[in-house]
Amino acid sequence: MRKLFLLSAMGLACAGAAQAQSSATLFGVVDVNVESFNAGGVGSSTMVGNGGLATSRVGFRGVEDLGGGMSAGFWLEGSINPDVGEGRPSNSTNQPSGTGAAVAGREGFKFDRVSYVSLATTQLGELRLGHDFIPTHWSSIYFDPFNANGVGRAGNFTFAGVTTAPMSTQITGSNSISYWTPSKLGGFYGMAMIGTGENASGTATSRDGNFAGFRAGYAAARFDMAVALTRTHYEPTATIGNYTHANIGGTWNAGFAKFFALYNTVKVGLAGGAVRKNTAEIGAHIPVFLVGRIRVAYAVLDDRSDSALLNANGSARKSNDARQLAVGYVHDMSRRTALYGTYSALRNRGQATYTVSGNRAPLAGQNSRGLELGIRHLF
């Protein structure tokens, strides 16, 4: 493995240093696909999308060895939408209103995924300052057979299911400090994170956007499992309130297949009564010769906040639950390039309008189906 040595940039405020040298890596993913969606009661649509297998991105990162087991590092990584040539929003203050719909044609590239500076020692672990994934999201990635991407992900329930919560604080957090345990703990690992909404004090919403969370797990050769929790404060209103996300999950590699299990519970403390939704998912990766793998997952959403709902005529309404079955195949053309196809069928009950597509919602209680065929290239 070779590294790239780039001429170091001396900050304006610093004396130049002739021997200074940096190791910065340019990296990224370009993943584009052709998608076809059917939204029950609405119709079909065929689109060109991206990120069906891995989120498209561009980034820069590096690590500097400081000697004595100490190191400093940075990571700057931003999402891109290569199907349309744009970047993606970042929520700078963790507020509910932080991530508005992008104005068409204007969403510039930003380091919305990861942007931090860090210090680490092999004995004590790592400290990161900046913008980063929240604790629960790591489990949403690692313990979902579809890695939180594309039509088959459990996130079709976990994230989109809670429409009153701001997307970005379900995935990343701004103004954060996180601590990561060192790697030599006999298989145990963990991290904890706090962040602030940076509101002015003295108002009812001054703590909005403050969050805290942790993730702890154990990994062995064939086994990995973790529990995680993230909680963000929002002063309760009719549409938003304290947002709590907890999950537990794991993987077990049996050789002929790698099995996945993930359980998410999301609660939003609205002023008019909390919304709580639980999602359970099981699935597997089944290797196909040496060049591919079948991916399959079944997810069930249990909306716990709808138990007392009635129809307009007073009859008991069916629970707003949903189920999703997804199957796909990934064909590795090389370590960097893969072709993939995923089919996902989502069945809504009651008034649920979950969708596999992210934005083409069916009518209430109707089904959603989607197919993605794409190319993912790493650099």
Nearest approach, Cβ of 15 to a second copy (angstroms)? 9
Give dist(CA 217, CA 210) in Å, integer: 24
Instruction: Return the residue of 70, 248, 286, 325 that touches a second copy, per CB under 8 A.
Output: 70
Nearest approach, Cβ of 238 to a second copy (angstroms)? 21
What's the per-residue H, E or C state across 327-359? EEEEEECCCCEEEEEEEEEEEECCCCCCCCCCC
Closest CB to a second copy among residues 19, 313: 19
Instruction: Return the residue of 36, 109, 287, 300 that touches a second copy, per CB under 8 A.
Output: 109
Q: Examine residue 141 and tell whether it contacts a second copy (CB under 8 A).
A: yes
10 Å Cβ neighbour count for 194? 15
Question: Which distant-in-sequence residues (6+ apart) come within 8 Å of 136 by Cβ?
Answer: 213, 215, 228, 229, 230, 245, 246, 247, 264
Give dist(CA 174, CA 132) in Å, integer: 7
Number of amino acids touching a second copy (CB under 8 A)? 122
Site string for a second copy, 290-329 (x = CB under 8 A): ----------------------------------------
DSSP three-state, residue 138: helix
Contact 58, 109 (CB under 8 A): yes
Q: Examine residue 254 and tell whether it contacts a second copy (CB under 8 A).
A: no
Question: Among 279, 280, 281, 282, which residue's Cα sits nearest to residue 259?
Answer: 282
Buried b (16+ CB within 10 A) or exposed e, 58-86: bbbbbbeeeeeeebebbbbbbbbbbbeeb
| Sole window of 146-154, 156-164, 301-309, 318-326 interacting with a second copy (rule: CB under 8 A) | 146-154
Question: Which distant-in-sequence residues (6+ apart) come within 8 Å of 347 by Cβ?
Answer: 322, 323, 324, 367
Give dist(CA 379, CA 370) in Å, integer: 28
Q: Examine residue 267 and tell whether it contacts a second copy (CB under 8 A).
A: no
Q: Examine residue 131 and tell whether it contacts a second copy (CB under 8 A).
A: yes
Give dist(CA 1, CA 222) in Å, integer: 25
Instruction: Return the residue of 220, 223, 337, 363 that touches a second copy, per CB under 8 A.
Output: 337
Closest CB to a second copy among residues 34, 248: 34
Give dist(CA 362, CA 177) in Å, integer: 40
| Sole window of 60-68, 219-227, 239-247, 308-316 interacting with a second copy (rule: CB under 8 A) | 60-68
Q: Examine residue 378 and tell whether it contacts a second copy (CB under 8 A).
A: yes
Nearest approach, Cβ of 373 to a second copy (angstroms)? 10
Q: Which of residues 161-220 bind a second copy (CB under 8 A)?
A: 168, 172, 174-177, 195-196, 198, 200-202
Instruction: Return the residue of 103, 290, 308, 312 that touches a second copy, per CB under 8 A.
Output: 103
Contact 153, 141 (CB under 8 A): no
Instruction: Return the residue of 185, 288, 316, 333 that touches a second copy, per CB under 8 A.
Output: 333
The H or E element containing residue 225 is: strand 223-232
Closest CB to a second copy among residues 54, 229: 54
Q: Which of residues 28-57 bind a second copy (CB under 8 A)?
A: 28-34, 42-48, 50, 53-55
Contact 243, 169 (CB under 8 A): yes
Give dist(CA 221, CA 90) in Å, integer: 36
Closest CB to a second copy among residues 48, 316: 48
- Beta pairing partners, 268: 243, 275
Q: Examine residue 154 and tell whether it contacts a second copy (CB under 8 A).
A: no
Nearest approach, Cβ of 138 to a second copy (angstroms)? 9
Q: Examine residue 86 and tell whether it contacts a second copy (CB under 8 A).
A: yes
Closest CB to a second copy among residues 93, 164: 93
Residue with tokens 């304006």, as numbered in its chain: 12
| Sole window of 16-24, 230-238, 302-310, 314-322 interacting with a second copy (rule: CB under 8 A) | 16-24
Q: Examine residue 263 and tell whether it contacts a second copy (CB under 8 A).
A: no
